[in-house]
Amino acid sequence: MLQLRTRGTDGGAELLKGVPGQRTATATPAPAPAAAAPDAAPGRMQGPARRRTGRLGRAGRLLPTPTGTPFTFGYALVLLATSLFAEYGDPGTVAGLLHASSTDVAHLSRTPLLVLVASALWVAGGLLSPYAIGFVFVLTALERRIGAWRTAAVFLVGHVVATLATEIPVALSVLAGHLPDTSLHRLDYGISFGLMASVGALAGLLTPVARGLVLAWVSVMLLQDLVAFEDPLTNWGHPLALAVGAGCGPLLRRAGRRI
């Protein structure tokens, strides 16, 4: 389109167009602005910043969140509260609550459902124990793969099966006269059985090589506990719970592919 380039008004430009001999100039297209370099694109991180953000995002997935892993997140808050109370609460009150939550034979014979739930609300050894740390990372990883309800089911099944498998023999041994009556009130609480079942279930979702390595490593640690013979009943419950979780592997692998 032909136009006269002037510094005047539009009306002056129109008058000059009709003057004989006046040259009209073709407007020179303004040079297109240079495309911004990719690293300078607004709102977008590039290079080292993007890699750092990616690493932080992957690291964040190792920890529970209210929306991503609601079961693990909510359960962890409960364990945090009970652990802080056990650490700083009145010692007499804490001892009474732990005893009331114990899954010993005496309590299981009277209020089985209550103590099976209550015993899993405490962490033996406190917040810095291997069980507390393992709970956060193992259950987060498991829940991200199979969902909240299935993770809760695995934990509960491992907790209940291993508890009954270790306490019923105590009851039978007392009846047979092989153990004293005081064994019916043996203090027993904690999340370790549910955690071991979760470890077995998570291992079942890995590749065959990784699964074998994880199960072998955990089994060696549990075998060391058995050799130490410090708490035989509980120590036998751990490999049983691990086997229960690993046995859920085929079913959980199919469930994990649907999520």
Q: Give the residue carrying structure tokens 């993770």.
A: 151
Which backbone phi and psi does 26 adopt, to 5 degrees? -80, 125
- Residues of the chain with pLDDT > 70, as a percent, come to 74
pLDDT at 10: 46
Per-residue pLDDT tens for 66-88? 999 999 999 999 999 999 999 99
Per-residue pLDDT tens for 199-214? 999 999 998 999 999 9
Residues comprising the chain, all counted: 259
Grade residue 231 by pLDDT with cuts at 50, 70 and 90: confident
pLDDT at 141: 95
Q: Is the pLDDT of residue 44 over 80?
A: no
Closest-CA residue to 193 (of 230, 253, 151, 236): 236
Q: Is the pLDDT of residue 242 over 50?
A: yes
Grade residue 228 by pLDDT with cuts at 50, 70 and 90: confident
Q: What is the mean pLDDT of residues 22-50?
A: 51
pLDDT at 55: 58
Per-residue pLDDT tens for 177-186? 988 999 999 9
CB 188 within 8 A of CB 102: yes
Structure tokens at 89: 């609460």
DSSP string of the chain?
-B----SS-HHHHHHHHTSTTPPP-BPPPPPPPPPPPGGG-TT---HHHHHHHHHHHHHHTTS--TTTSHHHHHHHHHHHHHHHHHHHS-HHHHHHHHHHH---HHHHHH-HHHHHHHGGG--TT-TTSHHHHHHHHHHHHHHHHH-HHHHHHHHHHHHHHHHHHHHHHHHHHHHTTSS-GGGGG-----SHHHHHHHHHHHHHTS-HHHHHHHHHHHHHHHHHHHHHTSSHHHHHHHHHHHHHHHHTHHHHHHHHHH-
How far are the Cα atoms of 72, 126, 213 from residue 220, in angstroms, in the given order? 27, 24, 11
Q: Is the pLDDT of residue 229 over 80?
A: no
How far are the Cα atoms of 123, 134, 220, 257 from residue 209, in angstroms, in the given order? 31, 21, 17, 19
Q: What is the mean pLDDT of residues 106-121?
A: 96
Q: Is the pLDDT of residue 163 over 70?
A: yes
Query: Minimum mean pLDDT among 25-34, 136-145, 194-203: which range?
Result: 25-34
Q: What is the mean pLDDT of residues 121-142?
A: 94
Query: Minimum mean pLDDT among 8-22, 23-37, 56-70, 117-131: which range?
Result: 8-22
Q: What is the mean pLDDT of residues 232-248?
A: 90
